Amino acid sequence: MERNEIVKIFLDKGYMIDTTSLDFFSENQTMVQPFLDYYSDLEDKTGSIDINLVQEILKIKISSLQIIKTANKKQKISVSDQSTFLNKRFDAIKKIMNNRLDLINLVSINKISQKSKKFSLIGIVKNKNDETKSLILEDTTGEVELFFSENFFSDYDSILHDDILGFICSNEFGRYYYIKTVWPDIPLTREVKKTKENYKCIFACISDLNEVLTDWLNKSADEESAIFIFPVGDNKNVKKIFEKLPHSSVKYLVDGTSIISLSGLTFFLSNNQIYKKYQEFFKTTPEATLTNLVKRRNMNPSLDFDKSVYDDDPFILDQVPDVIVVSTLDEQSVSNYKGTNVLTIKDFALGNSVLVLDTKTREVIKIGIL
């Protein structure tokens, strides 16, 4: 909804809202209806709504949940748009990798010379040739063909079109050979964040309104709970579940891909179907599939799988997320990769369970609901 549409909804009910309240509802649109339902039932109410009243009724800290990025696709895409999009990704990944000590003798492609015996490159995988087991690597200065010897065929197979990675290479009589991949990855020295508040983050994936789950959420969720609902497919009817959830809880509908912040923790959340394609490519478990993407610091690297171009790319992990949750791999799993909780959830109807994260301890438990 646009801001003027939110204002109109309130005016139609006979209420005026201040600018701060409008800012809040613009970023948390799923809370508009629960607020109005609760407020309309009050006997002692006024026609003017300010942020203090919103906080009191919803009983949340307004600043606790913030949307950092969402997947807003460009509707019309040109070849130039795709090129600009990839170049922005390249700049972001290169910035992450520039200080990597394992990238020995790092050079740009146009600086490779016959004297360059062992060197490193950062580039975009422009093309792969399965017959010659070679790839075309490109940066902003040019391109080069990189060959893989038989010992590294499995490494070749694991690389995607449009991957942006570091490579250690050798020059053998004017032909350039692959030695090793250097992943953007998560730093080993990264601090594992925990919150002072004891938030319970409840992650549920649903294909339709579910009374069993709704009743459990109403009994279990409170003002120290954050409920994340992942709808299956395009079932917009699922949004109605928010009307029945506790007003005091933080609530967020994951419809697409977004990066949000909750009390200082960063969450990457997605119900995008592309992850099935990545799992098929890697031939791995759901948690290993996501770990392979985290190592790239890019949760959707290949335009072969997703040709969309995004205004504010939510898939590039320039800021390492503390929690990653994906709902489209048809399996429930819990793992940890270098301090990041990596979770996959499945439709509640297929297992009657949810995952709950304690933000103070970063522990995750599976709860079955009958």
List the pLDDT tens digit at each of the 370 positions of the chain.
788 889 999 999 899 998 888 888 887 776 787 788 778 877 778 888 888 888 777 655 444 678 888 888 887 888 888 888 999 999 999 999 987 889 999 999 999 988 889 999 999 999 999 999 999 999 999 999 999 999 999 999 999 999 999 999 999 988 999 999 999 999 888 889 998 878 899 999 887 777 888 888 888 877 678 888 888 755 566 667 776 776 667 788 888 899 998 888 999 999 988 999 999 999 999 999 999 999 999 999 999 888 888 888 999 999 999 999 999 998 999 999 999 999 999 988 888 999 999 999 999 999 999 7
Q: What is the DSSP letter of 298?
A: B
Domains, in order of start, for the chain: 1-58 (no CATH), 60-70+190-368 (3.60.21.50), 98-182 (2.40.50.140)
37: left (phi over 0), alpha (psi -120 to 50) or beta: alpha
Model pTM score: 0.81
E runs forming strands in the chain:
16-17, 48-49, 65-70, 118-129, 134-139, 142-147, 164-172, 175-182, 200-206, 225-231, 250-253, 257-262, 265-270, 323-326, 333-337, 340-344, 353-358, 363-368
